[in-house]
Amino acid sequence: MPVPSSLERRYRYLYKPLLFTACLVPLGGCIGGILAGGGVAVPGFDLGADPVRFVLDRLAKTALNLLFITLLVTPLRRLSGNAQLLRLRRMLGLLAFSYALLHFLVYLGPYQSFDWREIGKDIVKRPFITMGFTALLLLVPLAATSTDRMRRRLGRLWQRLHRLIYVVAALAVLHYWKMLKHEYREPLIYAAILALLLGFRLWHARGRPAHATSRSEPPRAPERA
């Protein structure tokens, strides 16, 4: 078993926990705001006049941003040559999923008051909610197969399954765009970034044998990263 390098140790014990904590700040802010009763002018915890909308939107935006940061990891790794960055990818992806799930739970409860008929109608009748719900559903198998063991068991299938993340990202951007009343600039920026990232992936995948996955992983012993 190779001795972990100091770079590996730094990533595992310093950068990852720090990044994890940073990713929890939006959630902490929302919880703090809810606890503060909303509308109280405490800096950073003011959810404004419509706390449900604020929290719903904040969770959604964080999920979307984490999703895109997750997609950035592989191109960054290729550009920098730093394989340790991949340690962060799973954590970021799972955090994105967690925020998306929380966003959905706030939609079900505080936003829709658990009115299952209205929720059912929304998911079926409103295309942008159908897309958002589908994106969340697709994240479930990705989250479920995120462990090292699942990755080993699935082998080649794992890589193909996890390409779904691009479908999820596209659906998420469309969900966001169609939720806005009439604005389009922000979703357009996300779409452009997604197109760039997808382009980057496709360009690197051309002419490569399908089982090249092992080369994109840092050498590590089979422990939990």
Residues that bind other proteins (CB under 8 A): 34, 37-39, 41, 43-44, 47-53, 55, 110-113, 115, 118, 121-122, 126, 128, 178-179, 181-183
Nearest-approach distance from CB 21 to other proteins, in angstroms:
21
Query: Residue 176 has which token pair?
Result: 């966001």
Smaller CB distance to other proteins: residue 115 or 217? 115
Q: Which amino acid would we find at residue 13? A: Y
DSSP codes, 103-124: HHHHIIIIITTT-HHHHHHHHH
Nearest-approach distance from CB 46 to other proteins, in angstroms:
8
Smaller CB distance to other proteins: residue 112 or 159? 112
Nearest-approach distance from CB 113 to other proteins, in angstroms:
4
Nearest-approach distance from CB 62 to other proteins, in angstroms:
17
SS3 166: helix
Q: Say how far residue 108 (Cα) sits from the centre of its chain.
A: 20
Query: Residue 168 has which token pair?
Result: 């999820």
Cβ-count burial of 53 within 10 angstroms (0-12 exposed, 13-18 middle, 19+ buried)? middle
Instruction: In whole angstroms, give the CA distance from residue 121 to residue 129.
Output: 10
Smaller CB distance to other proteins: residue 31 or 150? 31
Smaller CB distance to other proteins: residue 56 or 66? 56
